[in-house]
Structure 1
Amino acid sequence: MRKILLLLTLALGGFVFGQSSLNMSLLGRSTYMNDNSDIWGYTDSVGTEYALVGTTAGVSIVEISGNQPQKKQFIQGPNSIWRDLKTWEHYAYVTHDNPFAWNTIPEHGLLIIDLDSVNQASPRYKTINYAIPDTLGGYDTLKTAHNLYIDENGYCYLFGANIREGGALIFDLNDDPWNPTYVGMWDTYYLHDGMVRGDTLWGSAIYEGLYVVVDVATKDSAYMMASKGTPNAFTHNAWISDNNQTLFTTDEVGGAFLTAYDVSDLSNMTELDRIQSLPGTTVIPHNAHVYGQWVVTSYYTSGVQIVDAKFPELLVEVGYYDTSPNYFGNGFNGNWGAYPYFQSEKIICSDIEEGLFILEPEYVSASRVHVQVVDSITGAPLSNAIVEFDVADIDGLSSIDGLADLGTPLSGGDSVSISLSGFVTAELAYNWLPGAFDTLRVALLNVNNIGIDDEQLPAITMYPNPSNGFIHLAGLDRANYVLSDLSGRVLERGTVHEEVMQLRGSYASGQYLLKVLSNKGIHTFPLMLQP
């Protein structure tokens, strides 16, 4: 939940924007006459960083190593909403989807740009309209594709092309990156997007509402190993974690999620967690990319989000930057894509209307806690207990197993309140531990057990409460006591003399349980200490 905002007022191009952000700051920006689409990054042999920006009119190549971005080249292409880009060695590979009806520029098929020519007067590039075998012994001409990906082994995959179903067309870049060789296809479903690692393709069958897992070890006979539906049944994007155990997907509809799945066993893939940007609104997620333990995701009207996925069963938002303050909620305006893979750790974003953003992120490790709420007498789990952290400003309900998992980008001191009808509210100090998944066990005292364990026992009165450790127990001459915290951990044992007791230890402010044992029975009191 976005409760911490850094409001930046930026006067750019005659307009004033109020940007909301957390753990991300603006380094530079560049605007365009045309709308933007996707984005990718490139670093040359001497370490100069470039943004490759798709626009409706072509490809913009922008140097971003300095304080201000410098547009170096623009390569015009068919006018289209959709343009996607990837790199291999010193080449960029670019696709576009269906052009506008009024477009007069021939369709590119696959555009290849020699990025070593960026500083030349005329950049070196070419287009290839491949002849792809059809099912009748003839050929189809490659004209458009929605997206592409290049794996670590030098194979380029075109998705959503105008060929057959629009699955994945596979090209080998290894022998001659300037002249890729067509080597096969997988064509069971139309794929909107995909990524490949090793011999496994993780594809987004958007119109089926599925992510698909495809074995591409043999390029001309790829086959599907598994598939699974995504929460909003419009699977736009899928990206695998660095350890190949967790898959992250987005659905391109309003109010959808970034969702994490355990894919370690393809025969039993299970959802782990899901998270939104601006929960309660209808903002649309677009493209997610894994960067170490984090997932960097573009959302149309709310910009870019960083999620800590170190523990994918509890995804925690730890950063964001709104590139599009003039738009809110549903709609296909705003941030199209975000690229997080520069060695400098810059993130570049392509906002459809606002242009190129160069951001400096702080990658924060989230703090997480596994709260266990139980009955202090029976030890039974308590469901529907309200768990509220004050400083982190987050809350949750305990499950049927008495569990509530919560996380925050914050670290350090906080206080937590655990309340449930029929039980004494517990208030505790808590310390958030970044990078850890802590456990906090809280035992709530049933109101029927306050001060007495047996309704027939004589009444005992305890005062003052809150106390500094000096306590009166009216009605008790001699007794033994046990002081414990709300988790049930015994802190101190001692005796009561002539209705008075004094705690020997020094304890932090908070709520404790005082159990008194005498010839009058066993009495349990909630005790608030204020040293």
Structure 2
Amino acid sequence: MMLTFVVLLAVGATAHPSCRYSEWDAWTQCTPNALCQSQRTQSLESYTSKTVSGVYQDQGRMNGEAMMEHKKRLWAGPNPLRTARESITGAAVDCTGGYASGFRCQNVNLQSFLSLQDLAGSGNTDGPSERGNDLWGWTDPTNNDEYVIMGLDDGTSFVRITDPVNPVVVAFLPTATVPSQWRDMKVVNDHAYIVSEAVGHGMQVFDLTRLRGQTDMGDVEVDFHYTEIGNTHNIVSNPASNTVFLVGSTDDSQACLAGLHMVDVSSPKNPLFAGCYWEDGYTHDAQCHIYNGPDTDYVGREICYNYNEDQLTIVDVTSKANPVTISTSGYPLATYTHQGWITEDHTMILLDDELDERDTFLDGNTVTYLWDVRDLDNPVIVGDYTAAHEAIDHNQYIRGSRVYQANYEVGLRILEIDQATPSLTEIGYFDVDDTSTGGTMEFQGAWTGYPYFASGNVPVSSIGYGLFIVRPDSMAMTETYQAGLNGTEQRERQLVAGDPSSCVAVKETRYCKASCH
């Protein structure tokens, strides 16, 4: 089976009438989307979990601090992409021939794009927002309107995407103190909770029901400002327990030592400190939920999976005043344990390390570690997925049998999870950075994709450009997986007459069936 496409100009432009091209070149050899075992310089499948001592935590902290300083230098000053593209609205753009409006894609269509200027709101179109960062989603329970909560360096933009081809910026919440490239948000009980690495920022609380029926509120103020913490790297939520968990808070009046700073938000506009977990030091990110997996010792308990710079740490936080460590597990290539997500049956975690692609033998190929967590006391790495492309991995979220990974320079990658094997297979992608196809190993491109809207639309935040709303073609992805189309191939038409500066390249890409030798 092959997926058929029509011709498309690769950069989404119209060639000059004087441009003439050859017939299509032959398709290139089908290249696997994942590295074959024989291509690796070291096997990852033999890795098993291990309990590590606190000495490793120091190295992880050093790696994290060095990475943050590198990002600050990389993101300093004006953003050259900020005005490079105008917003794309009014009509969806299908992924055809491997491109949509010049952005590389497969099995994922573009609904719309909002530039950083437009995300700042109608009253701040030329404001200081230079880059985007994280995002999350909220669905209004009264009318099912869908909203994106999009972080910018100087604040947070609220965007209604119920009509995904005509998104509406409804409001903009300025930063609590000073701009910062790091901003993170989660939603509990129709309220957004927003933190930042900005000095003294604290946690902003915003009642999302204020957006109902609005079209342009301009700049808005918070409903409550929580100041028990100052700068915070990330925020995690568990709506089932009415709790948010602030992590990476190095300025913390409760002395949680940058671990879990737990806040009770049962009364949304009156958040109350609930407890700390600090035994394993700095927590970069986490996922917390009410456990309902095969480990009967913990069914019904509130469990957090902490990504603690060099290891996976699992904690029982049912009692916020007395959290209990269940296990701490390292892995040989741990360089900066960044983030992960658990499958819906609570048996497997997919974990990403943000520095292993840069600093180990992996030579830049994106790696996802597959952990068997059926026994929470003894997590074990049982496999890995090593992509053929070179890019650093960032945030990933699981919906159903698919994981949606934001892998910086190569964009949103959608992988099918086969837990029986276990293995991952790429079935779709949308690259939100048309300036790179990977390989530079930099922190640019996609930050996060949010796959939980009932509509099937997925917002993706681009550091350089802004907000993309894409729609994966679920049927095409299923066909790709069932047909075993595990690779890609390309072809192009050569320019035979015309000015190369105005005659754009014409090329196509498609999924194909590859084999490992």
Q: 8 Å contact 2:243–2:263 — kept in the other structure? A: yes
1:192 aligned to 2:288? Answer: no
1:222 aligned to 2:323? Answer: yes
The letter for the 1-side match of 2:104 is S
Q: 8 Å contact 1:284–1:301 — kept in the other structure? A: yes
What does residue 261 of structure 1 align with?
A: 371
Q: 8 Å contact 2:152–2:183 — kept in the other structure? A: yes
Q: For residues 190 and 378 of structure 2, what CA distance do their matches in structure 1 show?
A: 40
Specify whether residues 129 and 25 from structure 1 end up closer, same or farther in structure 2 by C-alpha distance, changes over 3 A only: same
Q: For residues 83 and 115 of structure 1, what CA distance do their matches in structure 2 show?
A: 18
1:353 aligned to 2:454? Answer: no
Specify whether residues 332 and 91 from structure 1 end up closer, same or farther in structure 2 by C-alpha distance, changes over 3 A only: same
Of the candidates 59, 69, 83, which is equivalent to residue 167 of structure 2?
69
1:50 aligned to 2:147? Answer: yes
Give 1:332 deviation, angstroms: 0.8
Of the candidates 230, 233, 254, which is equivalent to residue 143 of structure 1?
230
Instruction: Tell me which structure has the larger Cα radius of gyration.
Output: 1
The letter for the 2-side match of 1:233 is T
What does residue 350 of structure 2 align with?
A: 248
Q: TM-score, normalised by structure 1?
A: 0.63
Q: 8 Å contact 1:91–1:112 — kept in the other structure? A: yes
Residues 262-301 of structure 1: per-residue CA shift (max 9 Å, x gap): 1001343222322244x252x1000010111111010111
Structure with bigger helix share is 2
Specify whether residues 74 and 265 from structure 1 end up closer, same or farther in structure 2 by C-alpha distance, changes over 3 A only: same
Specify whether residues 70 and 367 from structure 1 end up closer, same or farther in structure 2 by C-alpha distance, changes over 3 A only: closer
The letter for the 1-side match of 2:287 is M
Q: 8 Å contact 1:5–1:21 — kept in the other structure? A: no
Of the candidates 54, 74, 79, which is equivalent to residue 179 of structure 2?
79
What does residue 171 of structure 1 align with?
A: 263
Q: 8 Å contact 1:302–1:325 — kept in the other structure? A: no
- Report the secondary structure of 2:222's partner residue: strand
What does residue 304 of structure 2 align with?
A: 201
Structure with bigger strand share is 1
Q: For residues 4 and 415 of structure 2, what CA distance do their matches in structure 1 show?
A: 15
Aligned residue pairs total: 360
Give 1:226 deviation, angstroms: 0.9
Q: For residues 397 and 325 of structure 2, what CA distance do their matches in structure 1 show?
A: 23
Give 1:390 deviation, angstroms: 10
Q: For residues 349 and 312 of structure 2, what CA distance do their matches in structure 1 show?
A: 10
What does residue 245 of structure 2 align with?
A: 157
- Report the secondary structure of 1:317's partner residue: strand
The letter for the 2-side match of 1:20 is R
- Report the secondary structure of 2:209's partner residue: helix
What does residue 110 of structure 1 align with?
A: 203
Give 1:338 deviation, angstroms: 0.8
Q: 8 Å contact 1:286–1:300 — kept in the other structure? A: yes
Q: For residues 511 and 409 of structure 2, what CA distance do their matches in structure 1 show?
A: 25
What does residue 425 of structure 1 align with?
A: none
| RMSD value, Cα | 3.0
What does residue 446 of structure 1 align with?
A: none
Specify whether residues 417 and 76 from structure 1 end up closer, same or farther in structure 2 by C-alpha distance, changes over 3 A only: closer
What does residue 22 of structure 1 align with?
A: 106
Q: For residues 196 and 418 of structure 1, what CA distance do their matches in structure 2 show?
A: 38
- Report the secondary structure of 1:116's partner residue: helix
Of the candidates 448, 451, 454, which is equivalent to residue 340 of structure 1?
451
- Report the secondary structure of 2:405's partner residue: strand
The letter for the 1-side match of 2:429 is Y
Q: For residues 317 and 294 of structure 1, what CA distance do their matches in structure 2 show?
A: 9
Matches within 5 A, 1:465-504: none
The letter for the 2-side match of 1:115 is L
Give 1:365 deviation, angstroms: 3.7
Q: For residues 307 and 298 of structure 1, what CA distance do their matches in structure 2 show?
A: 11
Residues 146-181 of structure 1: per-residue CA shift (max 9 Å, x gap): 11111122111111112242000111112x111111
What does residue 134 of structure 2 align with?
A: 38
Q: 8 Å contact 2:427–2:480 — kept in the other structure? A: no
Q: For residues 417 and 62 of structure 1, what CA distance do their matches in structure 2 show?
A: 43
Q: TM-score, normalised by structure 2?
A: 0.64
Q: For residues 321 and 234 of structure 1, what CA distance do their matches in structure 2 show?
A: 25
- Report the secondary structure of 2:321's partner residue: helix
Stretches of structure 2 lacking an aligned partner (at least 5 in a row): 14-84, 89-99, 118-128, 291-301, 358-363, 489-509
The letter for the 1-side match of 2:463 is I
What does residue 195 of structure 2 align with?
A: 95
Stretches of structure 1 lacking an aligned partner (at least 5 in a row): 100-106, 132-141, 370-388, 395-408, 420-531
Give 1:109 deviation, angstroms: 0.3
